[in-house]
């Protein structure tokens, strides 16, 4: 399967149609960013002012069809450290500890020679 994955990636990367569409998309993205830039600068300045107003007021503000919602900073507690501090046995801590399922990420590595990929 590793060889199949790599070969599909190599085939995709060498497909001239894929390359052409990517180049068109990149050119359009550059042009769009240039055209949007002055508007985004104005929006960023306004957002900074709005943020200050909302924090100062301490609640959500809606004006001109725009709603700015106040979100208080996240509060977290390390319950494991609390349990250890009050002397809870490790067995009790383990009983209430959850471990997430493992996950896998797949990333292509550049290679310089025709190395064996399993």
DSSP at 90: H
Which residue is associated with the tokens 């979100």?
71
pLDDT exceeds 90 at position 35 = yes
| pTM exceeds 0.75 | no
Per-residue model confidence (pLDDT) at position 109: 77
Give 10-57 as a DSSP string.
HHHHH-HHHHHHHHHHHHHHHHHHHHHHHHHHHHHHHHHHHHHHHHHH
Task: Answer with the residue of higher pLDDT: 47 or 116.
Answer: 47
Q: How far is CA 67 from the centre of its chain?
A: 24
Whole-number Å distance between alpha carbons of 84 and 79: 8
């Amino acid at each position: 399967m590793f060889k199949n994955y790599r070969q599909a990636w190599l085939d995709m990367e060498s497909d001239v149609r894929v390359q052409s569409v990517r180049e068109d998309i990149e050119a359009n993205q550059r042009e769009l960013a240039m055209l949007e830039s002055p508007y985004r600068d104005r929006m960023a300045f306004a957002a900074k002012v709005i943020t200050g107003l909302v924090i100062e007021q301490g609640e959500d503000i809606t004006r001109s069809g725009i709603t700015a919602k106040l979100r208080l900073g996240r509060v977290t507690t390390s319950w494991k450290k609390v349990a250890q501090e009050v002397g809870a046995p490790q067995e009790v801590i383990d009983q209430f500890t959850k471990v997430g399922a493992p996950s896998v990420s797949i990333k292509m590595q550049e290679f310089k020679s025709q190395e064996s990929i399993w």
